[in-house]
Structures are given as structure tokens and as C-alpha cells.
Amino acid sequence: MDSAVSDATAAFGGAGPVASYGEPDEDLRSWQTDRTRAPIATKIVVAGGFGVGKTTLVTSVSEITPLQTEALMTEASEDTDDLSATPGKLTTTVAMDFGRITLDDDLVLYLFGTPGQQRFWFMWDDLVRGAIGAVVMADTRRLKDCFPALDYFESCRLPYVVAVNHFDGSERFEPEDVREALTIPAHIPVMIMDARRRFSVIETLLALVGHALDETPE
């Protein structure tokens, strides 16, 4: 797949094509001007433990203003939400994050970020419905927090990749070291990325799309 990324923000439906970031009309993609060639829309789930960077990933890569359901953290969650690794975290996702990115000329990814805390896991079944795959995010300071997501996607047989989000001050590990620590099967990609960097996230999404195609070629 061509890894070129389109930053087009053309609306679907009745609205006509719109050039993004001041680009001239002649730079529009073919599917933006030919309404008979609608791009393929696919759904991606972004999952992982509490405070691992799911909202940051969706925000950094979305070509539209992302939908966020962030709520201020209060004393009521002190006994259930471990902030030792993320002491500066003031908000948490209570429903989902949503964003969109266009890959290649005819592939649009819709990103759905799941809430990480156990009390919100009941939403996962609805969020993953119709998805082609998932990005399971991991923090090497607390790898155990991503086991529930790994178990979930293994049980529902949804293709997934593991993305190790590098935080400032955290020790760097090789992908194979993370694979061994989490007992991840050899055929599942393990990526090292920075959720704050757009192109780092794009590389992870491309790896997931490729893996999903390999797992479900039909």
C-alpha cells in the first residue's frame, strides 16, 4: 500500500470537495472530485490500559477535530485509578475518543479509542463491532495493564498490533523484548512509537491495516 497520507478534509454526503490547508483545487485526490469513487471506510479500535496514551494517539493523527469524552478526575477514583506512572493526568476518557485519517487515495480510517478503566469495559463490545482491527497500546512501566486488552482481542479473534508508547524518562526496550514479556505470538506486529508524533502513529496504523489484510484476506 502506498503510505502517502492525505490531509484532505472533504465531507461525505452532499458537501462538495474542500481543499485542506490552503492547497489548490488541482491537488485534490481523484476520489474527492469523482463522487462515484467513494473511499473505503474502515473502523479501527485503539485500546489499552488507563493513561497509556489512547486519547493522545487519536488527537495527534486525526485530520478532523477529534471527539473526546474527557472528564475531570476526582477523589472518588483515587482507590481505583493508579496515577503513580502518570501523576500529571487530570482527566480520563469515560466513553470514547473518535477521529479520522485518510490513508492513500481510497482508504479512510475511523479511529475509536476505548476507555481504559475496568469499570468501562462493558462498552468494548459495542465499540469493536464492525472494526477490522485494533491497536493495543502498552507502557513498559506497567505492561500488565495491557493484558486485559490482549486477552479480549484474542478471544474475539480481531486482528491487532501492539504499540509500545514511549514516555519521556521511560526505559526503551526492543520490540522482541516486549513480545517475550507479553507472550505475544510471532505473527502479531509489535511497534515502538510515540503517540504524540503523527507519522509515528501513521506507521502503526499502516502496520495494523496490513496485518488485518493478511489475517482476513477475503
For residue range 24-81, list pLDDT tens digits in order: 455 555 655 665 656 788 999 999 988 888 989 999 999 998 876 554 444 544 545 4
- Domain residues of the chain, as ranges? 5-215
Half-sphere exposure of 152 (CA within 13 A, CB side): 24
CB 70 within 8 A of CB 55: yes
Residue 166 pLDDT: 83
In this structure, the number of other CB atoms found within 10 A of the CB of residue 135 comes to 26
Q: In the structure grid, which three cell numbers stand for residue 68, read together?
A: 473526546
**CA–CA gap between residue 97 and residue 55 (Å, rounded):** 6
**CA–CA gap between residue 136 and residue 53 (Å, rounded):** 11
Nearest in space to 154 (alpha carbons), one of 215, 100, 64? 215
The domain made up of 5-215 is a member of CATH 3.40.30.10: no
State the pLDDT confidence band at 82, using cuts at 50, 70 and 90: low
- Of 6-15, 60-69, 162-171, which gets the smallest average pLDDT? 6-15
3-state secondary structure 159-183: CEEEEEECCCCCCCCCHHHHHHHHC
Q: In the structure grid, which three cell numbers stand for residue 165, read together?
A: 508508547
- Of 10-14, 49-53, 128-132, which gets the smallest average pLDDT? 10-14
**CA–CA gap between residue 107 and residue 179 (Å, rounded):** 29
